[in-house]
Amino acid sequence: MGFLKEFKEFAIKGNIVDLAVAVVIGAAFGKIVTALNESIISPIIALVIGKGGMKDFAFTVGNTVFPVGTFIQAIIDFILIALVLFIIIRTINRFKKKEEAAPAAPAPPSEEVVLLREIRDSLKK
């Protein structure tokens, strides 16, 4: 029973749930980036190159055909995802720096300090 209880505590921890949510959102974001690349970026590149599409982009050496279009498309997807993640993390870090830079309110003095100040003030009088 100890093993099951430990596993339950592990699986329900906030970190695991956060990780699961991040994976689902990341997968959805990856689909969005792939669609953006396939429907907008790749046709523009294909228009410049003069091919039918990025997937059709290939070169031939001798009798061997190297279809590099899919690979290039995957590289573009990776670069777009990395760029967006960089921008998001950079923004989050800036907000954290602003929170850290904000001066914290001074802590109220302890009872001993208040008592000692009262004694000092009464001695001055």
pLDDT, tens digit, for every residue of 41-99?
878 877 887 766 677 778 889 999 888 888 888 888 888 888 888 888 888 888 888 77
pLDDT, tens digit, for every residue of 104-122?
677 888 888 888 888 898 8
Q: What are the distances in angstroms from CA 24 to CA 17, 19, 20, 82, 111? A: 11, 9, 6, 17, 52
User: For residue 76, how many other CB atoms are within 10 A of its CB?
Assistant: 19
Whole-model pTM: value is: 0.56
Query: Which domains are assigned to the chain?
Result: 2-124 (1.10.1200.120)
> Apex CA 57: angle with CA 51 and CA 58, to 5°?
130
Which residue type occupies 9?
E
